[in-house]
Structure 1
Amino acid sequence: MKIKESPSRKVFNVFNILLMLVIGFICIYPFLYVVFASFSDAAQFFQYNGVLLAPKGFSTAAYKEVFKNGDILRGYGNTIFVVVVGTALNIVLTALGAYFLSRKNVMLKKPIMMMILLTMYISGGLIPSYLNVRSMGLYQSYWALILPGAISTMNLIIMRSAFEAIPESLEDAARVDGANHFVILFQIVLPLSKATVAVLVLYYGLAHWNDWFAPMIYLQGAPQKYPLQLILRNMLIDNQMVDSASGGNDQFLIFETMKYAVIVVSTLPMLIFYPFVQKYFDKGVMVGSVKG
């Protein structure tokens, strides 16, 4: 039987719906503004002031200018290599460390964990890190972007908590069947922690995808290895495309919309990837907050 709502309840529901719509629009409008601006005609957009609810004179000239730069596709390739290889190595090393720390019979487990936790608060700084990378022969190498941050302490704690939540009876049964630690980790523990692994793939992948500072430091003198974010940063901050062109007024106008096209190009792959791991996100994150 349908319960009849009072007039005050109806007003309250309508107010809530309108409030959520306004908040939702406020949240999504910056992204829509960037997309609309990237597809706008440069001259019309430059003269327009106010709320942008549609492209001002549809044009793809900004995207043509972006992809006219041959470094963009090479940067995509470099970034994809770092993201794929780096994230795979991150997950494997984090899983090995989390499995070790989640065992109950490990000697000196607490002191080891305390030393690992200290790395979250104490860092050697940029200069020691730079000298360390150079001394290991990683300078101007992709590995300088992957190995120094191979394990995140926070992600290690999240995965360790997920491993500790797995019933010991499953591992005991595997040991009876003759399984060693590697079999238990990769065939039992990791498959049962898919939600956490998916979340950490997102965390590590986003970190690699958005990183431009480390490449700027460690890849100086090797522009052919620049990832996408560093190339786009150079295009926006240093105005490389404008400086290499004739420098006329038309080029200045196109640069205004090109800035927004660069933002779309750099963020779209992650926006496409995120929905595939979103269903695991809440469960994977909550594991680390329940047991620490």
Structure 2
Amino acid sequence: MVTELSKTPDILAVHSGGAIKDSRSYRVFRVVNAVVLTGVCLVTLYPFVNLIAKSFSSEGQIAAGNVNLIPRGFNTTTFQAVLTDSMFWTNYKNTVVYTVVGTLIAMAITSTYAYAISRTQLKGRTFFIGIAVFTMFFNGGLIPNYILVANFLGWRNSMWAVVVPTALSIFNLLVMKSFFENFPTELEEAATIDGLTTYGVFGRIVLPLSKAVLATMTLFYAVGLWNSWFTAFLYLDDKSLFPVTVYLRNLIAAATGSQEITGGAGTDAVQIGANIQSVTMLLTVLPIICLYPFLQKYFVSGVMLGSVKG
């Protein structure tokens, strides 16, 4: 027994009490790893902290470059201008509705399409995969898409113009397809023997066991819809239908114009123009930041399982 322990590698040196002790090289690795990861975290957090500091700082301090991690000349003029505007809350509600409805539509289309083309017994499987991949490299262009959505479908000034054209991401489709291809076929065969139809197998067996990839794709679609502004800017004219991103974009343009007109005078318009970008970015990313921790545990496993084929 003593002879065997003497041949054990240094990384598993044994105490007299039987506890396993890490080797010196492994302890050095852990220290270096902790230092590097701490540095990465600090570098990652710095822009967010700086963003918050600028959003609460005064125009003069921001222009002078004195704002770093702590607000200078504490000021809430911009927050008051934005949060007291009833149109802001109307547009914010629109963003929530567009994100929820659009994500549900996108997940329904993506999951069913991905499951169908992941089944090798599907007739015309190669054709349907080819159509999907083709659209990754070629599209109709901006003007034909506008004519299709606004004139042919009649969706101008409609929620559907925002949520439907972006309802299918081919990247997400291919990731989910790879995940479903690795799904144990024995479970599906057993469910079929028990009398479940194809829809029953998909809804009662496949989806409940695919939480990781579903959560990951949901996050991808939700973030994309929440941050999207060009589609709404293109198809919507009614201000009451704008998402909050278009509202904030217009606010930035208006504040910048006011600042140019006033010539830098110390007015509320100048203050808004100085830190409007920080305030708008903070208000836009905050809901997604709050949502991410609830889906983070699925994020890595969902991407990895859907990206590697066994």
On whether the aligned pair clears a TM of 0.5, the verdict is: yes
Tell whether 2:114 aligns with 1:98. yes
Alpha-carbon distance, 1:59 to partner? 3.1
User: What SS class does the counterpart of residue 141 from structure 1 fall into?
Assistant: coil
Alignment of 1:112-127 (within 5 A): 112-127=128-143
User: 1:189 corresponds to which residue?
Assistant: 206
Structure 1: runs of 5 or more not aligned: none
Cα pair 1:46 1:256 within 8 Å, conserved: yes
2:277 corresponds to 1:286: no
**Counterpart pick for 2:288 among 251, 254, 270:** 270
Instruction: Name 1:226's counterpart in structure 2.
Output: 242
Report if aligned partners of 2:133, 2:170 keep a CA contact under 8 Å in 1.
yes
* Alpha-carbon distance change, 228 to 241 in structure 1, aligned in 2, over 3 angstroms: farther
C-alpha distance in structure 2 between counterparts of 1:261 and 1:216, whole Å: 21
Q: Answer 1 or 2: higher relative contact order, Cα 8 Å, separation at least 6.
A: 1
Tell me whether 1:137 sits opposite 2:154 in the alignment: yes
TM-score after normalising by structure 2: 0.84
Mapped to 2, the partners of 1:191 and 1:20 lie a distance apart of: 34
Amino acid in structure 2 at the alignment position of 1:97? Y
For 2:279, which of 261, 264, 273 is the aligned residue? 261
Match of 1:84 among 84, 100, 103: 100
Provide closer, same or farther for how the CA distance between residues 19 and 145 of structure 1 changes in structure 2, counting only shifts above 3 A. same
Query: Within 5 Å, which residues of 2 pair with 1:234-249?
Result: 234-239=250-255, 242=258, 248-249=265-266
Q: Deviations over 1:93-152 (max 9, x none)?
A: 111111211222111211221121100011111011001102111111110111122211
Q: Could you report, residue by residue, the CA deviation over 1:69-97 in whole angstroms, capped at 9, with x for unpaired residues?
A: 32210111100010001101111111111
Q: Is the 8 A contact 1:35 1:260 kept in 2?
A: yes
1:164/1:68 CA distance change after superposition, 3 Å? same
CA distance, structure 2, for counterparts of residue 113 and residue 202 of structure 1 = 24
Moved more, 57-66 or 118-127: 57-66
> What letter is aligned with 1:270?
I
What is the root-mean-square deviation in Å for CA atoms of aligned residues? 2.4
Partner SS for 2:136: coil
Structure-1 separation of matches of 2:24 and 2:164: 61
Partner deviation per Cα, 1:235-291 (whole Å, 9 max, x = no partner): 113438948x98952220343123311111111000000111111111111123212
Q: How many residues are paired up?
A: 286
Q: Is residue 105–residue 167 contact of structure 2 (8 Å, CA) maintained in 1?
A: yes
**Contact 1:65–1:258, Cα closer than 8 Å, also in 2:** no
User: 1:163 corresponds to which residue?
Assistant: 180
Q: Is contact 2:175-2:306 (8 Å) kept?
A: yes
Letter in 1 for 2:54: A
Q: Percent identity?
A: 35
Give the secondary structure class of the aligned counterpart of 1:120: helix
Native 8 Å contact 2:110 2:172 kept in 1: yes
CA distance 1:42–1:238, shift in 2 (3 Å):
closer
TM-score by length of structure 1 reads: 0.89
Distance 1:117 1:60, change over 3 A: same
> Is the Cα contact below 8 Å between 1:174 and 1:184 reproduced in 2?
yes
